[in-house]
Structure 1
């Protein structure tokens, strides 16, 4: 691809905003001149121009385009919270039925009878009922995917599944990592199926000592635990979660032979993510229940900020609620486009197929970036399933302080996080470039790939001659340089899903800033043209836009109301599980209150411009000059018990 196309695609959101600004300026200024708003009609007309006809026309076709585009954006913005409402309602309903399922308690007792001596506890909710299937959100799957009940009789083959859990981290507090490992270690299946990989950075001071201390503490609680160090001197690789995931993926790939790779599932989590044991129980069951799509499925789960939400300012709390709700919007049952947020799982064979994680600056939004990469590698036929087990996250905090200073620090820390989120607009360009490749290769449905560590260790081996791919499988050699080649036939391009993915990317990276801009400019247009003629017949459009803004605001209110039930079920379930595991002491649990909710509702109008439009504009402007962002670690809440443990160790 040409450097020009690469730059244009990378800056697509920013260029789109510039074009919109130019369109709005021309249309409004011409209409203002036509209406004599500046005291002299058509003052913008050049000498010798017929001002009479120009005044009548105003902005002409540009005004019409501006009006209809404004209507389109308002329709998209008002439909987004409606979809989020349905998704959170659907997920909450599944969580409620899961909590009441008798089979969950039976499963828990069965695991205890098996004598998993290294397990500290098991989850209260390990699986779903028949009505809320473990394949709840699927795409391209058979009808039976939607209803599948986990049963003890159906555990054949489950013991063969290995969960390779990568925890990328850079300068994270030891307490944060220890708490996350404690939560994973309390799962009844941890000793038998969890391979933990601490994805660390070599540039961090004393990182090896930090890793070895954690490994020594938890070595007997998992199937295995190891650490990887991402080198700091690899050209083209930017520091961050993506590069740590990529390096850990390369290293763990070496440990699993070809014969078992289809049953190795990689899960990437944040350093502060708390996963219930039912996350992996459901994941395992879905993987074994649908072998036909097992190697082409990506699993996503809803996230919830239920640890220290009561300790951060209301505006930060609401920003995280709306961010989590945005991630929820694609996880309803039947959704074919379900990008993950922070935590996701995918089989190692799918990682092999796409060549692992990218490490450049464009991949700072590692979760969405990997989703897009898998999506286009399968011609849009990526299967997506939702795991109905919310992932607990903590809200970011600033550097402390008191009173107004503390609020300012927390808000600043949240803005930096929002900037990282909006920096992910680079994935729009990545998707555009992938679409171009897809179009060129749309007729090629035979693909071959090799294990990740083979192609990365020897880049020249990544090329597999087409003649070798086309060879009769019975004639292909069982040993030699192609013995580890996997040849697969994928379906034709799914253009409908490709269009829907484009819509979701536009929704995520264009709408926040453009909507804020259009609210201002459409209001200005109405003020300028109020009481005057409407030669373009667009006045009704702006009236509808006013109605859509009101409807959208009401939908956000409904979304927050629905979120209350989702938060209550998720937070209470996690607290009960941590109490059973003996980890609740000193751990934060945020339960929402009526007073706090009222303050939250008031803050809603401020969140969109402060944590949506402002960081969006910041990121899109900077993309014209650079795509490098200095990656910083957000401060997170940790369990007080862990801190006390460290203090005791240091005092010895």
Structure 2
């Protein structure tokens, strides 16, 4: 059990001197229970919009100073946002290269005292002891989509010893249990555990959607693991999200090296990238999602005190338990931001969020049909998704309510004891709370208010004589007042115009580095890894005594041609991470990534740069309009009819063997546990963890086969054709859920020549 305790009310047996305070607190709590704070605060953004319209029309006349300050402030905040975004994308690009080229277990051994080459027997959190509880909420997802996501996870070197996969199914989907059981049967030998939960219909206070499904699954997994949470991290990911292996490797590292007390208040927020089907959707949808990724990245730079995750993220199980898991009500429809905010207030702003620059690869939403109808359907689907995303502006009211309650009634909401952490002081830091308010303003207020003020200013204020409707503005303004435009208003409007022009500068920087970032994470790192593997394969196939001496040797020739390609200027600076240590030796630095998703959309330079020209139109259609739509709707309801976004459909035979890009460099095998070992042959290398069916093994073998035992201390992760390996799959107790563990018996592989 966690050493942290949650509490709601004061101790049940107070001293006599504390009785008046207890009575006062109880009375205040009772009063707060009777006040409808939640519906009051959720309506504030919508009311603000309604009040902003008359302010935009009459403010320049009757409150010119206030109008000018607010108008100019919005533009300056927007400029600061763009500068920060440019900086954050620059950091994300360089950090993504660093993440892809870092051997995280070696870094762990280097950074942890007494770790040595083993798995840190003297450290309180050995690298191999961390378990990842991967929750995949899904509803009416196709078999192929789920298989591909599981294939990708199963290709990771430590999936067999550290991944507990939970398929979070919905009872409302017909046949969901049969689908889950079939997937369990297929992947039972690929993970430490694979199980599923069935979220029941009609739970009191819940809404349909991701938040309620994740909340149910996380509770069930915690219960099934007997609340043994000290070494477990919950990862929430969509059914079509693809994580590379270095995502889990890096969060394992960050979790292990953190002080034990800090692990209990940790979250992990990855960057995002839409690199799967982006070339198959309208440019308006594509550029909207690219800008959405920029928005996520903009708050992940390392020194940021507020880092809000998006869509896919990880939470220490200790923290999830102590904040009582995910909320499942209407205001939690944006479950990613809402869970962060819940943890933020439960820890008095001390929640530790690590930025992870191995991004979550995601699909763009797609419509139905083809041709013009399909195009319009896609735009409509993206608007619906945008409204659902911005329905999360309910969280602005949530922040205001939690702040008020924390000020007037400490202890009214559950909190987490942070004693012993790196932040032992009690209460919020004002600067951190101010940063949170600023981020919420940027997310849910800024663009809507800027649009409204700019729209009405352009129509009613006669300040731009070059405008073709200047005469109309003069006529309208003269009917409202006989006075000229106030000097402050004219100054604010004029300066704001030049601020908008100045925003182009950080935008150019941001676009440049975002293109580099997407090229690296979506293409270059995968191609480099594949080329590394091919070079190593060619080297192993040749006689070591001849391969590096014979000038005309095919392997050497191919290797040198490859090196020439790496140094071509057209490939850009991404290739500089390779270091040549001799005329025929390539030092590989791109670490194992697992297999990549079957869909991939590459961005071509410079043609795709024109996409960014559509930002003003896409931002208005899929940002400003759904934001205003959602917030005005909140005046009447907090409930949204949740619709699952349509994504690309994969087509492959249901029983097709899992396709794996053969990794030449496996994760390092620890003496304390067994991970997937790569079988080396002249033709290919196949991770042992991929042999999920006996018929697949039989097809790969012939008889007789050599059978020579190998030493478990070999950390290279390979064994020769004249060797075989006994690989023990860890067993686990039945959790009480529908579950399947890797077989506890040893599996002896026989290899054919």
Displacement of 1:566 in angstroms is 0.1
Q: 1:633 aligns with which of 622, 638, 644?
A: 644
Rounded Cα–Cα distance in structure 1 between residues aligned with 2:40 and 2:57: 23
Match of 1:36 in 2: none
Displacement of 1:329 in angstroms is 0.6
Contact 1:300 1:341 in 2 (8 A): yes
Match of 1:95 in 2: 96
Rounded Cα–Cα distance in structure 1 between residues aligned with 2:244 and 2:593: 14
Change (3 A) 1:535 1:24: closer
Rounded Cα–Cα distance in structure 2 between residues aligned with 1:217 and 1:389: 28
Rounded Cα–Cα distance in structure 2 between residues aligned with 1:445 and 1:620: 26
Rounded Cα–Cα distance in structure 2 between residues aligned with 1:322 and 1:312: 15
Contact 1:167 1:199 in 2 (8 A): yes
Contact 2:56 2:456 in 1 (8 A): yes
Change (3 A) 1:444 1:206: closer
* Aligned positions of 1:91-170 closer than 5 A: 91-101=92-102, 103=103, 155-156=120-121, 157-170=126-139
- Secondary structure (helix, strand or coil) at the match of 2:164 reads strand
Rounded Cα–Cα distance in structure 2 between residues aligned with 1:413 and 1:69: 34
Match of 2:376 in 1: 408
Rounded Cα–Cα distance in structure 1 between residues aligned with 2:596 and 2:329: 41
Change (3 A) 1:586 1:276: closer
Contact 2:215 2:325 in 1 (8 A): yes
User: Per residue, is there more helix in 1 or in 2?
Assistant: 1
Match of 1:621 in 2: 632
Contact 1:155 1:285 in 2 (8 A): no
Rounded Cα–Cα distance in structure 2 between residues aligned with 1:583 and 1:640: 21
Contact 1:91 1:332 in 2 (8 A): yes
* Aligned positions of 1:444-593 closer than 5 A: 491-527=426-462, 533-572=484-523, 575-576=526-527, 587-593=598-604
Match of 2:692 in 1: none
Q: 1:16 aligns with which of 48, 61, 65?
A: 48
Contact 2:100 2:525 in 1 (8 A): no
Higher gyration radius (CA): 2
Match of 1:44 in 2: none
Change (3 A) 1:535 1:244: closer
Match of 1:462 in 2: none
Match of 1:603 in 2: 614
- Secondary structure (helix, strand or coil) at the match of 2:184 reads helix
Rounded Cα–Cα distance in structure 2 between residues aligned with 1:491 and 1:375: 13
Change (3 A) 1:397 1:443: closer
- Secondary structure (helix, strand or coil) at the match of 1:166 reads strand
Contact 2:75 2:496 in 1 (8 A): yes
Displacement of 1:6 in angstroms is 2.3
Displacement of 1:381 in angstroms is 1.0
Rounded Cα–Cα distance in structure 1 between residues aligned with 2:290 and 2:365: 13
Match of 1:240 in 2: 209
Deviation digits for residues 552-590 of structure 1 (CA, Å, limit 9, x no counterpart) = 244334322211000011012564499689997981111
Contact 2:171 2:198 in 1 (8 A): yes
Change (3 A) 1:585 1:78: closer
Deviation digits for residues 285-325 of structure 1 (CA, Å, limit 9, x no counterpart) = 11110124111111100010011111111111000000011
Change (3 A) 1:548 1:294: same
Change (3 A) 1:255 1:412: same
Change (3 A) 1:128 1:333: farther
Once superposed, what is the RMSD of the aligned Cα atoms?
A: 3.1
Which stretches in structure 1 are left out of the alignment for 5+ residues?
Answer: 29-58, 108-126, 131-143, 450-469, 471-487, 647-652
Rounded Cα–Cα distance in structure 1 between residues aligned with 2:108 and 2:496: 42
Displacement of 1:337 in angstroms is 0.4
Change (3 A) 1:294 1:609: same
Contact 2:244 2:596 in 1 (8 A): no
Deviation digits for residues 398-452 of structure 1 (CA, Å, limit 9, x no counterpart) = 01312x2222111111111111111000111111111122113459999679xxx
Contact 2:311 2:336 in 1 (8 A): yes
- Secondary structure (helix, strand or coil) at the match of 1:163 reads strand
- Secondary structure (helix, strand or coil) at the match of 2:145 reads helix
Change (3 A) 1:365 1:582: closer
- Secondary structure (helix, strand or coil) at the match of 1:537 reads helix
Change (3 A) 1:541 1:128: farther
- Secondary structure (helix, strand or coil) at the match of 1:197 reads strand
Change (3 A) 1:642 1:155: farther
Rounded Cα–Cα distance in structure 2 between residues aligned with 1:645 and 1:382: 44
Change (3 A) 1:371 1:98: closer
Rounded Cα–Cα distance in structure 1 between residues aligned with 2:328 and 2:116: 40
Rounded Cα–Cα distance in structure 1 between residues aligned with 2:120 and 2:67: 58
Contact 1:274 1:393 in 2 (8 A): yes
Displacement of 1:594 in angstroms is 2.8
| TM-score of the superposed pair, with normalisation by structure 1 | 0.77
Which stretches in structure 2 are left out of the alignment for 5+ residues?
Answer: 1-31, 466-473, 475-482, 534-591, 658-753
Rounded Cα–Cα distance in structure 1 between residues aligned with 2:71 and 2:510: 24
Displacement of 1:595 in angstroms is 5.3
Change (3 A) 1:354 1:582: closer
Q: Does 1:326 pair with 2:295?
A: yes
Q: 2:278 aligns with which of 282, 285, 309?
A: 309
Rounded Cα–Cα distance in structure 1 between residues aligned with 2:262 and 2:195: 30
Change (3 A) 1:446 1:572: closer
Q: 2:357 aligns with which of 388, 393, 415?
A: 388
- Secondary structure (helix, strand or coil) at the match of 2:345 reads helix
Change (3 A) 1:642 1:187: farther
- Secondary structure (helix, strand or coil) at the match of 1:424 reads helix
Rounded Cα–Cα distance in structure 1 between residues aligned with 2:94 and 2:508: 19
* Aligned positions of 1:40-55 closer than 5 A: none
Match of 1:459 in 2: none
- Secondary structure (helix, strand or coil) at the match of 1:304 reads strand
Displacement of 1:625 in angstroms is 0.9
Contact 2:333 2:392 in 1 (8 A): yes
Match of 1:5 in 2: 37
Q: 2:222 aligns with which of 233, 253, 257?
A: 253
Rounded Cα–Cα distance in structure 1 between residues aligned with 2:223 and 2:238: 23
Contact 1:400 1:406 in 2 (8 A): yes
Match of 2:166 in 1: 197
- Secondary structure (helix, strand or coil) at the match of 1:518 reads helix
Work out the number of aligned pairs and report it: 540
Match of 1:276 in 2: 244
Displacement of 1:621 in angstroms is 1.3
* Aligned positions of 1:282-431 closer than 5 A: 282-291=250-259, 292-402=261-371, 404-431=372-399
